[in-house]
Amino acid sequence: MNAAAAVLCGLGTWLPPQAVTNDDLARELDTSDAWIRSRTGIGTRFVATPTVATSDLAVEAGRRALKSAGRDAVDGVVLATTTPDRPCPATAPLVAARLGLGTVASFDVGAVCTGFLYALAAGAGLIAAGTVDSVLVIGADTYSRILDPADRSTRAIFGDGAGAVVLRSGDATEPGALGTPVLGSDGTGSELITVRSGGSREPLHTFGTDTGADGRADPYFRMAGKAVFRSAVERMADAALSAARRAGWTTDDIDRLVAHQANLRILHAVADRMRIPRHRCPVHLDQVGNTAAASIPLALAHAAATGTLAPGHRTVLTAFGGGLTWGACALRWPDLTPA
């Protein structure tokens, strides 16, 4: 008997209401709308107010994904995030409880900006194994909490948000059925995208007593943007091509490439490397910035709502992030209404 396929059947998103424009940032930092737009393509991002945590965003997106799927229950929750409410416990059980899902299986996945694709693969694996029949896969991040207020290079890029999909068991030939995911990592690059302090290597409580690598804590997110630019392009393009091949598609067959919204120049370079027209690569970062684990479901919902992504489109999702990590997955876009 073949393992059950995971079929995407619901999509929901949530953004915190406070928009921060490039001009807003330029009033605080040595930057400009022109620099940010030309180097990243970003115009606006959204920022959660101090009392709003990642679980709050995840619950809103999860509720909407369930509504989009026409369901009030699933058998599991997989939450991709780098910004959990607390270091312990995982945030997913709290989200499951707040959604009224009872005592279902729930856990967090940490793969930074590739988190949603790792969570999607985990959810599909649980369905294929017969552990669950349906699962809510959420990507939610509150990067505003871990950005250095004085770091213009990360403040310009990252925004908060959440997106979620519902997967149910079904047949591999159905619209929405996920192809075999492609996943990879290279831990030799772990220093390139990192929050150095606050984990077991450099617990925050030991600072002030000279125990940090340089005697100082750094609790903020740091990214060597230039150093990871080329890897991001190569890994996302190569993973996307592998996922397409696994689905039996050529490059020309790919109707839409929904890539992690890291930077407009990266999206264009990925499309060019894959030799697919840039217009097949939906752009959402101009409105929301890089929302880390939330970026792909937010981009999917925006593309579906604006008609850029239509039922039947042969779609490839691809992402790259800290770890370093990357991944991709192919599916034929299903007929659904994002909520």
Q: Give CA–CA dist 36/334, Å, rounded.
A: 35
Nearer to ligand ACO, 198 or 225 (CB): 225
- Give min distance, CB of 262 to ligand ACO, in A: 4
Radius of gyration of the chain from Cα atoms?
A: 19
Active site residue 88: no
Pairing of strands 193-195, 18-21: unpaired
Task: From the candidates 290, 302, 313, 329, give the one annotated as an active-site residue.
Answer: 290
Nearer to ligand ACO, 255 or 286 (CB): 286
Task: From the candidates 9, 22, 113, 313, give the one annotated as an active-site residue.
Answer: 113
Task: Determine, following the binding rule CB under 6 A, whether residue 107 of this chain makes contact with ligand ACO.
Answer: no
- Give min distance, CB of 84 to ligand ACO, in A: 15
Q: Give CA–CA dist 326/232, Å, rounded.
A: 8
Task: Determine, following the binding rule CB under 6 A, whether residue 281 of this chain makes contact with ligand ACO.
Answer: no
Among 169, 194, 263, 291, binds ligand ACO (CB under 6 A): 263
Q: Which of residues 81-100 bind ligand ACO (CB under 6 A)?
A: none
Q: Which of residues 141-200 bind ligand ACO (CB under 6 A)?
A: 152-153, 156-157, 193
Q: Contact 306/321 with Cβ under 8 angstroms?
A: no
> Which single residue brings its beta carbon nearest to ligand ACO?
225
Instruction: Return the axis-axis angle of helices 33-40 and 264-274, rounded to nearest 10°.
Output: 20
Q: Which of residues 21-80 bind ligand ACO (CB under 6 A)?
A: 31, 35-36, 39-40
Active site residue 113: yes
Among 57, 232, 240, 330, binds ligand ACO (CB under 6 A): 232
Q: Contact 20/44 with Cβ under 8 angstroms?
A: yes
- Give min distance, CB of 25 to ligand ACO, in A: 7
Task: Determine, following the binding rule CB under 6 A, whether residue 328 of this chain makes contact with ligand ACO.
Answer: no
Active site residue 260: yes
Nearer to ligand ACO, 274 or 292 (CB): 292
Residues with a known catalytic role: 113, 260, 290
Which residues are at the interface with ligand ACO (CB under 6 A)?
Answer: 31, 35-36, 39-40, 112-113, 152-153, 156-157, 193, 223, 225-226, 228-229, 232, 262-263, 266, 290, 292, 320-322
